[in-house]
Amino acid sequence: MKRVFEFVLFLVAVFYSGSVFSQAAAVDIEWVRIPGGSFIMGSSGKDAEEDETPAHKVNVPEFEMSKTLVTLDQYKACVDAGVCETPDTEEGCNWGKSDRGNHPINCVDWEQAQAFATWAGGRLPSEAEWEYAARSATRGWKHPWGNKRANCSLAVMTESSKRQGCGNDGTWPVCSKPKGNTAQGLCDMAGNVMEWVRDWYYYGYKGAPKDGSAREVKGSPYKVCRGGFWGGHARNMQAAVRVYYPPEFRENFIGFRIARPVPAKHPEPRDKLDGDLGPDSDVSPDSNVRPVPPSPQDFAPKNQSKKMFETFIK
């Protein structure tokens, strides 16, 4: 019995501290809900790149996406927690620069992006989720802001082959171009840095999932990046544009953002569900009903396995 009592105390301590089951408490992510719906993924017509075809209908369940690209400060919290690796510090990389805390983290490879996403309680978005969000969900726009051609009032980018424009010397702080936000409020879905997504790269969409999921069976040595970057031209800012790199590739024009399923709603308090013993209640306050004593399992987080509990008390 003593062991059971000690186990209950342990679970209560863990539940309230969050030190074991909630690693992401130290990082603040602003989540934006993306409503579920259908859209046409890819491109058609004379300006379509071949790997953007065939254009096809995809049904995407609702999900949440981080409003901003993951910033240097957010990524640093993961490094400080001993989970994420230190990014590169070569020219153009933001890591190690004290004035770049609100710039997107860059110079990270796919595995580093995935490690942060897991630590922060999310995942990398699928390619379909990313394009759906970049098209402002069911609006189906060519760009996050609509169908207007990209320019420096809407995205951190380069406006000419002479590297003129707002993106001629690297990243900007996240959300510097609010006029270019999606209808749901996502920032920098075009420009600033490209974004790793979950999918392996396939040349074209033949056989691609139609349910919004990622292509996680390796079809090439490359992972997909989306979104254009600070040195990209107007065509690169279109939501359908795809690029690809080896997962170990790191550069000053690649970063990421994260996604997650929509969290389950918390149940209503029991006094809301069963009445509060007020004047209209059929239950007398001094009835013979007695509360059931809690068991040790009542204190365990939802993902605590029954097997662990049974093993402990044997």
Percent of the chain with pLDDT strictly greater than 90: 71
Determine how many CB atoms are found less than 10 A away from the CB of residue 229: 30
| Residue 18 confidence (pLDDT) above 70 | no
**C-alpha dist (Å) from residue 119 to 20, 34, 77, 100, 247:** 12, 22, 10, 22, 19
Determine how many CB atoms are found less than 10 A away from the CB of residue 296: 20
Residue of 26 and 129 predicted with greater confidence: 129
Mode of pairing for the β-strands spanning 254-255 and 194-200: parallel
pLDDT digits (tens, 9 = 90+) for 241-288: 999 999 999 999 999 999 999 998 766 555 444 444 343 434 343 434
CB-side neighbour CA atoms (13 Å) of 274: 7
Query: For 29-260, CATH number?
Result: 3.90.1580.10
Band of pLDDT at residue 161, cut at 50, 70 and 90: low
pLDDT digits (tens, 9 = 90+) for 79-120: 999 999 999 999 999 999 999 999 999 999 999 999 999 999
pLDDT at 136: 99
pLDDT at 169: 86
Q: Which tokens go with 227?
A: 């979104």
pLDDT digits (tens, 9 = 90+) for 109-157: 999 999 999 999 999 999 999 999 999 999 999 999 999 999 999 999 9
pLDDT at 265: 79
3-state helix, strand and coil shares in percent for the chain, rounded to the nearest 5 = 25, 15, 60
Residue of 19 and 56 predicted with greater confidence: 56
**Dihedral of CA 14/19/20/22: which sign?**
positive
Name the residue ranges covered by the structural domains of the chain: 29-260
Closest CA to 147 of 178, 180, 177, 175: 180
Please give the mean pLDDT across all residues of the chain.
84
